[in-house]
Amino acid sequence: MADRNIELELFARSHPTTALQGLLEQLEGDRALLEPEALPARSRALDGLERALGLDVGDDAERARADALRGWLEALDRALCDGLREDLRRGGGGAGLLDWAARCFIAETETGEHYDPLDELVSGVLRLPAPGDEIGALAEEMVFYQPTPARHVFDLLRRLSLCADDVVLDLGAGLGHVPLLVAACTEARAHGVEIEPAYVASAQACAAELGLRRATFACADARAVDLGQATVFYLYTPFTGAILRQVLDAIAQQARSRAIRVCTLGPCTAVVAAEPWLAGDARPPSDRIAVFRSR
Ligand SMILES: C[S@@+](CC[C@H](N)C(=O)[O-])C[C@H]1O[C@@H](n2cnc3c(N)ncnc32)[C@H](O)[C@@H]1O
């Protein structure tokens, strides 16, 4: 799509009206965009329309057509998300979400920390309340909020095969995507610990709205929480340096009495991979969630 956008931009500069017209004709004639499973293609089409409208090309009639087409494609996505959301609210579980993740997105070939249409789908299903503007500053070594890309969460769920006895603890849970998806799509319980109160409030409101009772959240510093219930620890590099060291030592203490798994994404993976009490890939990929087991 990036190449198409550059082409469109170059073309638009020399043919300010026909660029939008060409795009409209192509998209309006593409009946496949109507299919529910055309979510990724719709996302690309919406990108193209946004881009063309942002370039201020086309006459009034073309821009109105583009606007109408955008609204129409967005409504199709909304209807898809509404259905999946209703499944969750009625207690039907996340089978629909899992099906989407399996059919359309393959984590093995989609590495990296970028976001894709699956994130849009998850966001349309969860509809997390915006956390507001009053986000506190983080102390040194604490890492700012960024959600795990959804394809990595689903990839992790496939590989973990969680059961009802599992408890997933997300240390530095942000808005809670990981615990929410664990509770929605598996039988396990999930708990998110997050230092920013506004994120915790959003995650709790979302869990309550969707009836995800197995997802719970607490506002706390990860160094101060009870780790005793968790069977799976998840860290999307929430902190570095001495904080990471202190939390890993506390998790190692837990591993002395029971089998646990530690899952990581981002730069903290290299630190965790060097822990002698954990077994796993000696050189785990830096752009996919790594899974380690206690020895
Ligand atoms: C990279 S984000 C990961 C978010 C979430 N785990 C996910 O994967 O979607 C890191 C989060 O850790 C939180 N955080 C940083 N230091 C923390 C600490 N000491 N205790 C609890 N949360 C912390 C940040 O506020 C931020 O929301």
Place of tokens 């590495």: 111
Q: Which residue has the tokens 């606007």?
A: 67
Q: Which residue stretches of 15-134 are H helix?
A: 18-28, 39-54, 60-89, 95-104, 117-126
Q: Which of 36-50, 79-93, 116-130, 233-247 has the lowest mean pLDDT?
A: 36-50
Distance 87 CA to ligand 1 centre (A): 29
Q: CA distances (Å), 275 to each of 271, 286, 293, in order?
A: 7, 16, 11
- Give the atom of ligand 1 at the shortest distance from the alpha carbon of 265: 8
Closest atom of ligand 1 to 143 CA is: 15
Residues within a 6 A CB radius of ligand 1: 138, 142-143, 145-148, 170, 172-174, 177-178, 193-196, 199, 221-222, 236-239, 243
Q: To test ligand 1's pocket by mutation, which of 135, 145, 237 has the most ligand atoms within 8 angstroms of CB? A: 145
Cβ within 8 Å of residue 111, ≥6 positions away: 285, 287, 288
Q: Is residue 168 within 8 Å of residue 162, measured between CB atoms?
A: yes
* Statement: residue 290 has pLDDT above 80: yes
Q: For 138-176, write each residue's pLDDT tens digit.
A: 999 999 999 999 999 999 999 999 999 999 999 999 999
Residue 187 CA, ligand 1 centroid: distance in Å: 24
* pLDDT above 80 for 17: no
Which atom of ligand 1 lies nearest, measured to the CA of 177? 9
Q: Which residue from 263, 265, 264, 252 is spatially nearest to 295, judged by alpha carbons?
A: 252
pLDDT at 85 over 70: yes
CA of 248 to the centre of ligand 1 (A): 15
| Cβ–Cβ < 8 Å for 122, 149 | no
283 falls in which pLDDT band (50, 70, 90)? confident
Instruction: For residues 198 and 68, give the distance between their C-alpha atoms in angstroms, rounded to a whole number.
Output: 36
Ligand 1, atom 5, lies closest to the CA of: 173
CA distance 159 to 168: 14
Supply the residue whose CA is at minimum distance from atom 8 of ligand 1: 148
Residue 33 structure tokens: 């965009």
Q: Which amino acid is at 99?
A: D
Instruction: Please report which confidence band the pLDDT of residue 52 belongs to, taking 50, 70 and 90 as the band edges.
Output: confident
Nearest CA residue ID for atom 14, ligand 1 = 172
CA angle 61, 67, 71 (to 5 degrees): 145
pLDDT confidence band for 5 (50 / 70 / 90): low
Which residue bears the tokens 């004639």? 29
Residue 1 has pLDDT above 50, yes or no: no
